[in-house]
Amino acid sequence: MSAGPEVRLPWGAFVLDEERTFPLPAGWRVDMAAVAAGARGPALAEALEAPIDAPPVEQLAAGARSAAIAVEDITRPADAAPVLDALLDRLAAAGIPPDRVRVLVAVGGHAPLRRDELLAKLGERVVATCDVYNHHPYEDLVDLGRSRSGLPIHVNRMFVEADVRLAVGSVVPHPYAGFGGGGKIVLPGLAGIDTLEMNHRPAVTGLSGAGLGVVEGNRAREEMEEIALAAGLQAVVNIVPDARRRPVGHFYGHPVAAHRAAVALARRVFRVEVEPGADACLLNAYPKDGEQLQVGNAFNAWRALDEPPAREGGTVIVTAACPWGRGHHSLHGPRMRLWREPVERPYLAGRELIVFAPTLSELDVRKSFWTGYRHARRWDEVVARLASRHPKGGRMLVFETAPLALPVARRAR
């Protein structure tokens, strides 16, 4: 088989963070869909010195004895360590030393972080000097009543009872909250399981009225922000990362106002022009490629387009490192409250899906993907299948970081 072009993709967020090369058969033309590299926002120090509709950290902490900082978990891409270090410095200057700062990993219904993961996400200083906890959705919750829609507000007690309540998170596209970040750190990040279930169920049944990149008028997003404010969230540092998880902008301030400022940058960073109707489409799951249960985010970009990225009769390839294996989710995991048996995905009808995940077993893949789809543990299996199905090659649309993409269709050239 003669050699064709090669595709270089980021691989293994937090664990490997490397680039790997994937050769294609001869006859293929690669159409790369990569997020923007040039858009920039405020640096961290600049953001902390220019709060958006909120007091500076030192003013929030004046006279306080304790602080809680909620931080997104390791399934989200931002490197939180530099931000946390800066917040610790400012809290200490205001009289709250690190040993009176609780750092709460806002796992929602995800798995708790092990020590190596805490070090990777939070940094050595935080792990060594602060009181670090993984949120638990079943225990140590406080009941704050109900939201306007009737959602029970059960959230982490340690966060609510702290004198100062801050949060750190990344702003990347999300299929029903529009974008991550902002009040989403509390719901779902610090919420109880009943609150989580009722908030997630509309997304599962398709009733949320939301979509990828949609913020204003998004009922799910509005409820997240209502509950975050009810829990006492005072200010956030929201990070917009690039395709390699490096920060391109920081926004500090009110949980809603700072988030919207971050969203404005994120829309520029993650906008990707694509030409639909390719012969094949490769969806790389980085930076949400840590575990199988997050790999479905690679399809967000596909579903956001009115015209399918790959034509009927074409081939769809999902690439995912999955160093943590199948993963864990207290709502969507197998046999959990919102679990549904995998079925054929309607938007992929008439196309062959190949899941390239070297660390996963056939059984693992069947737990998230329909049994009619293919699983490959070796890349040469993918190459052979492409050559068999498309002996003359064709155009392959490659989403370098599919979970980050906000795709916009362009006309064929």
Per residue in 100-115, pLDDT (tens digit) is: 999 999 999 999 999 9
Copy the structure tokens of residue 192. Answer: 């109880």
Helix (H) or strand (E) holding 409: strand 406-409
Across the chain, mean pLDDT equals: 95
User: 31 — alpha (psi -120 to 50), left (phi > 0) or beta?
Assistant: beta
Of 154, 187, 182, 188, the closest CA to residue 166 belongs to 182
- The pLDDT value given to residue 199: 86
Model pLDDT for residues 378-394, shown as the tens digit of each residue: 999 999 999 999 999 99
Higher pLDDT, 49 or 412: 49
pTM of the model: 0.96
**Strand 173-174 vs strand 178-179: parallel, antiparallel, or unpaired?**
antiparallel
Share of the chain above pLDDT 70, in %: 97
Higher pLDDT, 39 or 167: 167
- The pLDDT value given to residue 205: 47
Q: Where are the domains of the chain?
A: 3-35+271-409, 44-268
- The pLDDT value given to residue 110: 97
- The pLDDT value given to residue 412: 63
Amino acid symbol at 193 = I
Task: Give the pLDDT band (50/70/90) at residue 413.
Answer: low
Task: Give the pLDDT band (50/70/90) at residue 370.
Answer: confident
CATH fourth-level superfamily of 44-268: LarA, N-terminal domain (3.40.50.11440)
Among the CATH numbers 3.40.50.10710, 3.40.50.1820, 2.60.40.420, 3.90.226.30, which is that of 3-35+271-409? 3.90.226.30
Rounded CA gap, 291 and 366, in Å? 14
Q: Quick one: average pLDDT of 10-33?
A: 98
Q: If you ran DSSP here, which 8-state letter would residue 176 be given?
A: T
- Does residue 308 have a cis peptide bond before it, meaning omega lies within 30 degrees of 0? no
Asked whether residue 341 carries a pLDDT value surpassing 60, the answer given is: yes
Asked whether residue 204 carries a pLDDT value surpassing 60, the answer given is: no
- Does residue 188 have a cis peptide bond before it, meaning omega lies within 30 degrees of 0? yes
Q: Quick one: average pLDDT of 64-79?
A: 98
Of 201, 158, 172, the closest CA to residue 70 belongs to 158
Amino acid symbol at 200 = H
* Helices (H), ranges, 214-256: 219-230
Helix (H) or strand (E) holding 247: strand 247-253
Task: Give the pLDDT band (50/70/90) at residue 161.
Answer: very high
Rounded CA gap, 109 and 124, in Å? 25
User: 135 — alpha (psi -120 to 50), left (phi > 0) or beta?
Assistant: beta
Model pLDDT for residues 217-264, shown as the tens digit of each residue: 998 899 999 999 999 999 999 999 999 999 999 999 999 999 999 999
Task: Give the pLDDT band (50/70/90) at residue 206.
Answer: low
